[in-house]
Structure 1
Amino acid sequence: MFQKILVAIDKFAVEEGVLQAAISLAQLTQAKLLLLHVLTPSNEGYPSPMFLRPDNIYPQLYEAAWKSYALQMETFNQQEMEWLRSLAEQTKAVGIEVETSRVQGDPGQTLCEVARSWGADLIMVGRRGYSGLNELLVGSVSNYVLHHAPCAVLALQHQTPQPLHQSEALSAGDSPSTGL
């Protein structure tokens, strides 16, 4: 069925269960996973290159600002790589063959390009549920991938757990006086 599954990974995808779903599918199909994290300046923790225009500040301040930015970027890169390594270790621990990759670029385009070059059979991506104006302003990686991917796409909708209503609890045989 699927031999190579590309998994779009970011902090939200891990929280939404995209990685766990990919692991489950890989276990069923004996597929290999590629965990791909596409880096953009909008990523959480990405250092801001603010004040790095040399025409706006004195040369000494520019040099200090640049050194500070370079140090922040190095720290950010190390943290991101460690995070990816830990995800790969979790995946390997359950017997799944896994690769990781971290590239900078437009997420939708990059996912499609990497899927094509790696020969992916399936791309798994989270979907945050943006629509209308939010989708227009923020953009939708999953929508782009669905329309441009060279292979099958599985877009997993983020779902928040719904609270159990008292009527549902009562129908399960619980009484209102005892709680649950």
Structure 2
Amino acid sequence: MSNDYRNILVAIDLSDESRKVLQRAKEIAARNNQARISVVHTLEPLGFAYGGDIPMDLTSIQDQLDAHARKRMNELLEDMNIPEDNRHILVGMPDSETHRLAKEQEVDLIVVGSHGRHGLQLLLGSVSSGVLHGAPCDVLAVRVGK
């Protein structure tokens, strides 16, 4: 695995379990000549959550969610030595925004967290599964939770 990856994108949900995913990405980067690490968290637009037919402007609420996500990401990355330019909070569908950013930045590995599930979702949750399908590069699912 040495020197295979130069540009790693870590997709996180900002939970405490994100630290495990980030740490795994850091280990891989260290084994690959300190590969570049970028981190992404995607907020789904509020209009999607409510069907898009809300008779009010949700911009200020979306801005508050964005500010909260940035604060939480900075807390998680406090001791990770990941530059501000490599931290991304996006608005959209998590899988498609992760794919878009990965292509844009010529990422060769996406690292995501995955809860152990039963049946069809045994390895991947819905977001992790969405990232896997259609990814422009390798995807590593790091098992988190129970």
Which residue type is aligned with residue 144 of structure 1? G
Indicate the residue corresponding to 1:32 in structure 2.
Answer: 36
Q: Which of residues 149, 158, 179 is equivalent to 2:144?
A: 158
Report sequence identity in percent.
33
Residue aligned with 1:91, SS: coil
Matched, 1:102 2:104: no
Indicate the residue corresponding to 1:147 in structure 2.
Answer: 133
Between Structure 1 and Structure 2, which shows a larger proportion of helix residues?
1
Higher-Rg structure is 1
Residue aligned with 2:116, SS: coil
Indicate the residue corresponding to 1:58 in structure 2.
Answer: none
Aligned residues: CA RMSD: 3.0
Question: Hey, what's the Cα distance between the residues in 2 that align with 1:126 and 1:88?
Answer: 16
TM-score w.r.t. the length of structure 2 is 0.74
1:83-132: per-residue Cα shift (whole Å, max 9, x none)? 2233343211xxx5671011111111111121111100100011123455
TM-score w.r.t. the length of structure 1 is 0.61
Contact 1:130–1:140 (8 Å) recurs in 2: no
Change (3 A) 1:39 1:15: same
Change (3 A) 1:116 1:74: closer
Uncovered stretches (5+) of structure 1, i.e. residues with no partner: 54-61, 161-180
Matched, 1:84 2:73: yes
Matched, 1:112 2:96: no
Indicate the residue corresponding to 1:21 in structure 2.
Answer: 24
Which residue type is aligned with residue 106 of structure 2? G
Count of aligned positions: 135
Question: Hey, what's the Cα distance between the residues in 2 that align with 1:19 and 1:11?
Answer: 11
Which residue type is aligned with residue 128 of structure 1? H
> Equivalences for 1:40-55 in 2 at 5 Å?
40-41=44-45, 52-53=54-55
Matched, 1:126 2:113: yes
Deviation of 1:48 (Å): 7.6
Indicate the residue corresponding to 1:11 in structure 2.
Answer: 14
Contact 2:17–2:144 (8 Å) recurs in 1: no
Change (3 A) 1:72 1:106: closer
Deviation of 1:52 (Å): 4.6
Contact 2:113–2:142 (8 Å) recurs in 1: yes
Uncovered stretches (5+) of structure 2, i.e. residues with no partner: none
Question: Hey, what's the Cα distance between the residues in 2 that align with 1:151 and 1:75?
Answer: 33
Question: Hey, what's the Cα distance between the residues in 2 that align with 1:88 and 1:159?
Answer: 20
